[in-house]
Amino acid sequence: SIPLSFFGGIGGASKKGILVKGSNYLEALNNIHTVVFDKTGTLTEGVFKVNEIINEGEFDAEAVLKYAATAESFSDHPIALSIREAYGKDIDSSVIKYHEDITGKGIRVKTESGEILVGNEKLMEAEGVSYRKVEANDTIVHIAVEGKYAGYILISDKIKKDSADTVKALKEAGIKNVVMLTGDNKTTAIKVKEELNLDEVHYELLPHEKVEMLEKIKREKKEKGNIVFVGDGINDAPVLTMADIGVAMGGLGSDAAIEASDIVIMTDEPSKLIEGIKIAAFTRKIVW
């Protein structure tokens, strides 16, 4: 005979690509109040494409792209991958004398011909660069060379094909609050909120601000049920740990995120959370 655990429980979940690190986490899926998603790589593919390069001042578009690709040569952020792919040529990284990842903001490198900054508005502001304020549905990556503004690159990412159905199913399952946190800009964040029919969105967050936001959500909702966080990035580890149930994307996700999580979705599909919730409900029926 086939044991019941074949259909339910942790074994059943793992057959569907959902690794649950303890039966208490499966049980906790029966009582969710709020689900908080990270954006990039969780609700979106995390694979960007360069759409447009806008050069400013003395710089031409080819130069802007080359500076950006050079600065991004040591980064494995999805933004960096898209810029290097758009550039297409080999980058001589021996010109880089110094490189620095500025968390939630971008990249700084120093080359023989000067300092290059690549990142968002926060980076330009922190470095005192007078940049162009842009409103676009895309993610905006600004470039400055030796403190001079060189222009910006518009990049975009696609929403995963099961994200909208996942949000809908969570609400049908009676979950009160479906939230998204992102470091990305306001316009992009609101566009995703509307496309997915999310209840709440918080944007332009630095990693420590994501932690503070989750703390706040936990304080407000704790007695009403569990808080689930679903994320994939290196910076997501502290939030994954803090959530009642931390869910990591196992495919594209970072090792740190997988380590810090309670549940791992091997296929990177947010809809696996719905399957996990169904398995949890079914398992409870068998147990009781």
Catalogue the active-site residues.
Answer: 38
Stretch that binds Mg ion, among 29-37, 104-112, 134-142, 227-235 (CB under 5 A): 227-235
Query: For Mg ion, how many residues bind (rule: CB under 5 A)?
Result: 2
118 touches ligand ADP by CB under 6 A? yes
233 touches Mg ion by CB under 5 A? yes
254 touches ligand ADP by CB under 6 A? no
Binding at 238: pick from Mg ion, ligand ADP, none (beta carbon under 5-8 Å per type): none
* Of 107 and 264, CB closest to ligand ADP: 107
191 touches ligand ADP by CB under 6 A? no
* Residues sharing a CB contact under 8 Å with residue 275, sequence separation 6 or more, in sequence order: 13, 16, 18
Are 192 and 180 within 8 A, CB to CB?
A: yes
Stretch that binds ligand ADP, among 56-64, 91-99, 113-121, 144-152 (CB under 6 A): 113-121
Select from 9, 34, 40, 124 the one that contacts ligand ADP (CB under 6 A). 40
State the Cα–Cα distance between residues 138 and 41, nearest whole angstrom: 15
- Please write down the long-range contacts of 156-159, taking CB distance under 8 Å and 24 or more positions apart: 156/48, 156/49, 156/51, 157/40, 157/44, 157/45, 157/46, 157/47, 157/48, 157/49, 157/78, 158/44, 158/45, 158/47, 159/43, 159/44, 159/45, 159/192, 159/195, 159/196
Select from 32, 53, 64, 80 the one that contacts ligand ADP (CB under 6 A). 80
* Residues sharing a CB contact under 8 Å with residue 53, sequence separation 6 or more, in sequence order: 61, 64, 65, 86, 151, 152, 153, 154
Binding at 262: pick from ligand ADP, Mg ion, none (beta carbon under 5-8 Å per type): none
139 touches ligand ADP by CB under 6 A? yes
Are 123 and 106 within 8 A, CB to CB?
A: yes
Binding at 160: pick from Mg ion, ligand ADP, none (beta carbon under 5-8 Å per type): none
Please, is 99 exposed, middle or buried when counting C-beta atoms within 10 Å of its C-beta (0-12, 13-18, 19+)? Answer: middle
117 touches ligand ADP by CB under 6 A? no
Select from 183, 246, 270, 276 the one that contacts ligand ADP (CB under 6 A). 183
State the Cα–Cα distance between residues 93 and 69, nearest whole angstrom: 10
Please report, as ranges, the residues that interact with ligand ADP according to CB under 6 A: 38-40, 72, 75, 77, 79-80, 104-107, 118-120, 139, 141, 182-184, 207, 233, 235
Please report, as ranges, the residues that interact with Mg ion according to CB under 5 A: 40, 233
